[in-house]
Chain A
């Protein structure tokens, strides 16, 4: 979901996604950069993202991932479900305390 959200802001390559998540979570989420790729591969299969070769700002060749329509829909669905879950947990926490 975090990858989808990252890509929602526009196509990015793998390293940029990793950076982004790292920065976003203020370093709280320590993931190996490599473990990103199997996740991306899965999303490619599901048709949520599309990949194209391009050139980075530093003139390096890299693959850029772009969110597809299905990917956007998935993101919405997941955010809704996540928000709902969070709200439910909050509700439970509040009433039980």
Chain B
């Protein structure tokens, strides 16, 4: 429409002016013709034509949209005003940008992790078929038991709720035949899993049922990343063979980019060849996914599984040739004692897991920072508007309605909000890039995090809301119907009334109280971190221990003893590297997150009573020298030796807490005998070692039984080796690239087909296990620091302003004999009283809120007295400084000059 074009409108205005001029001339001509004098004719014409200027204005307005017009004027005006005060604008925009940026970044994380559906078609129908076993004790750490092979068969054959389902597990495999041997992660999937996820390969074909029949030819799917990395995205790789754990497998397809089963990324996808004839009741290690049939709810599916569990327990045996149900024993153990039950959850929920709490805490925290930032900007605006009172009063006097003035002020604050939002978006995208690169690796869906349209919309809304929020306070305060009063009030003879300061003081109190809440939360996290770091994990100087993992595939070295001897000679070669003090290896290391192996144990004279289950202990397989290299102290007895191991002697070590529990003291345990179950041979306890916090610094040390890396198995009379072992190398060179190269050479000098995987120092392992705490800590500390800074700026601003506004009053006081120190103290006291009020409110709020963080804390109570005392003290001290600085200016007031000015 043409009226939207201001250029066009100006042209039309010109035309109207010309036309009216010509109208006048014609009219003048007519009067001239009637015989009037030229001047009289002109004035008569003007009279007859009426108020042409008013008509022109009327037409001009008609040709535009008035409010749009005046708003664009407001925007130009506001823009000019902001440009004229660059320091005010910079502070306000920066404050907002920090707040909005931080919030947008965290919102993006929350959105990507918690809110966005998983990237599978129809993902809300996907469920994780978990189980619970409340009676099984510590067998199954956080994540309930997995499915056993037999459950898979019972479920797939008899369920009524699922369109399709499949099971999967992940493990590390060794790929050889492509240059250096490499250890990569693989997902091993059963038939039905890809169908359930409904994902087609990018190239080639998916794995089919035929690939999953026991004895079928070896096949493998590549992940997109692996395909790009190792084959440069070459499509001709399909049909080629690679060696996986020394077995040739044909590449049949490539998965699309970003594909992962649930949230476990893997380079390779292998078919799982489940053998019905080998399936037994136990072996709860598989994870399962299913797609619900349309119209089936999760409770219905749970009821379906609850129906299937007794059928399962009746139909299968504990050993491949045992009787189904083992004469009711399985029923008793799994259903009555362990109380295995279904716990089906939406896949998204199980992927997101326990970060939900952390993320909401962080989000809430940053929302508070945002409020503080808004309060601060509102305060700045109040100062600014204060200085513009006479201008506003003048505008009101000239006939501007108060709504018009409010609008002008709002436009200005919205403009600030928009500028802050734009800059904040830049901060957010930078911050997110940092987070994705350095974030905690255990944050699920980390790779999906990024700014998307939702995040953009979020930051836009936040900017606008902020603009409205902090703009409304000064607008309503100064542009209300009573605006004309201010002309009188700003008379020079009066000192400013207290009412003027109430709004700003309230804002400062709010700021301080929010800052108190944030500082207390971050204080609690710092204390938690301290507690976790100060806990003795059971081993020494983790920064001087280099670890790496080596897997010896059965297909490469078939005999168990040879595998262990290979591992032993690797340890020997590595020990010969200059600077290495000692070397050991074990099936799993403390806090490394490897899947735990838990089982019960019996001491001599004990037997499994029917249906009762002994408490679960962590089982680890260790080499001689492991304890020495980790710095785990041997409390009684001795370490294992290679002679013990190869001699087939049935020795074990136990942790100190287990020794105390079973035999009273560490000493008493030596020479005692234990076994894992009634069929097992007796094993002699030769040593007791210090407790180690295997699960993480915040978890108590579990009771551990240390088995040799090579020896007779617990369940069957077979001697076997631990084929996936983590080496621990104590050396001051830990963590250097040079050491790692020498380690690789040492491993390859033993066997060139063995890759070195997951190299990291023990310190890194420990830090990783604390990633959640340190992530929360960093976020809260950033938020707390911002809150503190903003709060102090707020107090400083209020005091500085009060001093500048009350110069006259100060002058009078000084002239009447007040000492400058007393006047200064008056202002400091004012600042402190605001702060104290804020602290009181803040402590109340914090006491109510910190119990929400309980799950994040360790070794600290939510009402930790140290934190609750330290934060207010720090804040008061900081306030003292923040209000003393501006109060010092009192001394600069010269009473004589001040009085003269009156």
- Seen from chain A, the residues whose Cβ lies within 8 Å of a Cβ on chain B are 13-15, 18, 32-35, 37-38, 41-42, 45, 56, 58, 60-63
Contact, CB under 8 Å: A14 / B23:
yes
**Please, could you name 17 A-B residue pairs with CB atoms under 8 Å apart, sorted by A?**
A14-B19, A14-B23, A15-B26, A15-B27, A33-B49, A34-B20, A34-B54, A37-B16, A37-B19, A37-B20, A37-B56, A38-B59, A41-B63, A45-B3, A56-B26, A62-B26, A63-B19
Contact, CB under 8 Å: B52 / A34:
yes
Task: Give the nearest-CB partner of B59 in chain A.
Answer: A41
In the bound complex, what is the Cα–Cα distance between A18 and B52 (angstroms)? 14
Which residue in A34, A45, A56, A61 is a CB contact (below 8 Å) of B49?
A34
Contact, CB under 8 Å: A34 / B22:
no
Contact, CB under 8 Å: A61 / B22:
yes
In the bound complex, what is the Cα–Cα distance between A62 and B16 (angstroms)? 10
Contact, CB under 8 Å: B55 / A60:
no
A7 to B: closest C-beta gap in Å? 15
Known: A37-B59, A38-B59. 15 other contacts (CB 8 A): A13-B22, A14-B23, A15-B27, A32-B48, A33-B23, A34-B50, A34-B52, A38-B58, A41-B59, A56-B26, A58-B29, A60-B26, A61-B22, A63-B19, A63-B22
Contact, CB under 8 Å: B22 / A62:
yes
Task: Give the nearest-CB partner of B58 in chain A.
Answer: A38
In the bound complex, what is the Cα–Cα distance between A63 and B55 (angstroms)? 17
For window 36-76 of B, CB contacts with A under 8 Å fall at 48-52, 54-56, 58-59, 62-63
Contacts of B22 in A (CB 8 A): 13, 15, 60-63
Contact, CB under 8 Å: B23 / A15:
yes
Contact, CB under 8 Å: B27 / A33:
yes
Task: Please name the 7 residue pairs, one residue from A and one from B, whose CB atoms are nearest each other, closest first.
Answer: A32-B50, A34-B50, A15-B26, A34-B55, A33-B49, A41-B59, A62-B22
Contacts of A38 in B (CB 8 A): 55, 58-59, 62
Question: Which of B18, B19, B52, B63 counts the most A-chain CB atoms under 10 A from its CB?
Answer: B19
In the bound complex, what is the Cα–Cα distance between A62 and B18 (angstroms)? 8
A50 to B: closest C-beta gap in Å? 13
Task: Give the nearest-CB partner of B3 in chain A.
Answer: A45
Contacts of A15 in B (CB 8 A): 22-23, 26-27
In the bound complex, what is the Cα–Cα distance between A55 and B50 (angstroms)? 24
Task: Give the nearest-CB partner of B61 in chain A.
Answer: A38
Q: How many residues of B are counted as interface, with CB atoms below 8 angstroms from the partner's CB atoms?
A: 24
Contacts of B3 in A (CB 8 A): 45
In the bound complex, what is the Cα–Cα distance between A56 and B19 (angstroms)? 12
B61 to A: closest C-beta gap in Å? 10
For window 321-362 of B, CB contacts with A under 8 Å fall at none
Contact, CB under 8 Å: B50 / A62:
no
| B15 is an interface residue with CB less than 8 A from chain A | yes
In the bound complex, what is the Cα–Cα distance between A42 and B59 (angstroms)? 8
A8 to B: closest C-beta gap in Å? 21
In the bound complex, what is the Cα–Cα distance between A42 and B12 (angstroms)? 13
Mark contacts of B3-38 with chain A using CB atoms, 8 A cut-off: 1 yes-contact digit, 0 otherwise: 100000000000110111011011101000000000
Question: Which of B23, B27, B49, B51 counts the most A-chain CB atoms under 10 A from its CB?
Answer: B23
Task: Tell me what chain A mostly uses at the interface: helix, strand, loop, or mixed.
Answer: helix
Which residue in A32, A35, A58, A62 is a CB contact (below 8 Å) of B19?
A62
A30 to B: closest C-beta gap in Å? 10
B18 to A: closest C-beta gap in Å? 8
Which residue in A14, A33, A63 is a CB contact (below 8 Å) of B48?
A33
Task: Give the nearest-CB partner of B26 in chain A.
Answer: A15
Contacts of A37 in B (CB 8 A): 16, 19-20, 55-56, 59
- Seen from chain B, the residues whose Cβ lies within 8 Å of a Cβ on chain A are 3, 15-16, 18-20, 22-23, 25-27, 29, 48-52, 54-56, 58-59, 62-63
A14 to B: closest C-beta gap in Å? 5
Task: Give the nearest-CB partner of A44 in chain B.
Answer: B12
In the bound complex, what is the Cα–Cα distance between A32 and B58 (angstroms)? 15
A73 to B: closest C-beta gap in Å? 22
Contacts of B59 in A (CB 8 A): 37-38, 41
B323 to A: closest C-beta gap in Å? 95
Task: Give the nearest-CB partner of A16 in chain B.
Answer: B26
Contact, CB under 8 Å: A63 / B50:
no
Contact, CB under 8 Å: A60 / B50:
no
B647 to A: closest C-beta gap in Å? 106
Question: Which of B26, B48, B56 counts the most A-chain CB atoms under 10 A from its CB?
Answer: B26
A63 to B: closest C-beta gap in Å? 5
Contacts of A33 in B (CB 8 A): 23, 27, 48-50
Question: Which of A35, A37, A45 counts the most B-chain CB atoms under 10 A from its CB?
Answer: A37
Given the known A-B contacts A34-B55, A38-B58, A38-B62, are A60 and B29 also in contact in the complex, defined by CB atoms under 8 Å?
yes
Which residue in A41, A42, A60, A63 is a CB contact (below 8 Å) of B25?
A60
Contacts of A58 in B (CB 8 A): 26, 29
In the bound complex, what is the Cα–Cα distance between A37 and B20 (angstroms)? 8
In the bound complex, what is the Cα–Cα distance between A59 and B80 (angstroms)? 49
Contacts of B19 in A (CB 8 A): 14, 37, 62-63
In the bound complex, what is the Cα–Cα distance between A32 and B50 (angstroms)? 5
Task: Give the nearest-CB partner of B22 in chain A.
Answer: A62
Task: Give the nearest-CB partner of A32 in chain B.
Answer: B50
Contacts of B58 in A (CB 8 A): 38
In the bound complex, what is the Cα–Cα distance between A61 and B15 (angstroms)? 12
Task: Give the nearest-CB partner of A56 in chain B.
Answer: B26
Contacts of A60 in B (CB 8 A): 22, 25-26, 29
In the bound complex, what is the Cα–Cα distance between A45 and B63 (angstroms)? 9
Task: Give the nearest-CB partner of A62 in chain B.
Answer: B22
Contacts of A63 in B (CB 8 A): 15, 19, 22
A58 to B: closest C-beta gap in Å? 6
In the bound complex, what is the Cα–Cα distance between A61 and B63 (angstroms)? 24
Task: Give the nearest-CB partner of A34 in chain B.
Answer: B50
Contacts of A13 in B (CB 8 A): 22-23, 26
Task: Give the nearest-CB partner of B57 in chain A.
Answer: A38
Contacts of B25 in A (CB 8 A): 60
Contacts of A61 in B (CB 8 A): 18, 22
In the bound complex, what is the Cα–Cα distance between A45 and B50 (angstroms)? 23
In the bound complex, what is the Cα–Cα distance between A62 and B23 (angstroms)? 7
In the bound complex, what is the Cα–Cα distance between A34 and B52 (angstroms)? 6
A9 to B: closest C-beta gap in Å? 19
Given the known A-B contacts A34-B20, A63-B22, are A42 and B62 also in contact in the complex, defined by CB atoms under 8 Å?
yes
Contacts of A56 in B (CB 8 A): 26
Contact, CB under 8 Å: A35 / B50:
yes
A32 to B: closest C-beta gap in Å? 3
B52 to A: closest C-beta gap in Å? 5
Contacts of B16 in A (CB 8 A): 37, 41
Task: Give the nearest-CB partner of A38 in chain B.
Answer: B58
Contacts of A42 in B (CB 8 A): 62
Contacts of B26 in A (CB 8 A): 13, 15, 56, 58, 60, 62
Contacts of B20 in A (CB 8 A): 34, 37
B32 to A: closest C-beta gap in Å? 10
Question: Which of A13, A18, A32, A34 counts the most B-chain CB atoms under 10 A from its CB?
Answer: A34
In the bound complex, what is the Cα–Cα distance between A73 and B812 (angstroms)? 81
In the bound complex, what is the Cα–Cα distance between A41 and B62 (angstroms)? 8
Task: Give the nearest-CB partner of A14 in chain B.
Answer: B23
Given the known A-B contacts A37-B19, A62-B19, are A32 and B29 also in contact in the complex, defined by CB atoms under 8 Å?
no
Task: Give the nearest-CB partner of B63 in chain A.
Answer: A41
Given the known A-B contacts A56-B26, A58-B29, A63-B15, are A34 and B51 also in contact in the complex, defined by CB atoms under 8 Å?
yes
In the bound complex, what is the Cα–Cα distance between A15 and B59 (angstroms)? 18
A33 to B: closest C-beta gap in Å? 5
Contacts of B49 in A (CB 8 A): 32-34
In the bound complex, what is the Cα–Cα distance between A94 and B19 (angstroms)? 47
In the bound complex, what is the Cα–Cα distance between A47 and B247 (angstroms)? 84
Task: Give the nearest-CB partner of A15 in chain B.
Answer: B26
In the bound complex, what is the Cα–Cα distance between A22 and B54 (angstroms)? 22
B209 to A: closest C-beta gap in Å? 72
In the bound complex, what is the Cα–Cα distance between A63 and B15 (angstroms)? 9
Contacts of B29 in A (CB 8 A): 58, 60
In the bound complex, what is the Cα–Cα distance between A35 and B16 (angstroms)? 13
Task: Give the nearest-CB partner of A31 in chain B.
Answer: B50
In the bound complex, what is the Cα–Cα distance between A61 and B23 (angstroms)? 9
Contacts of A34 in B (CB 8 A): 20, 49-52, 54-55
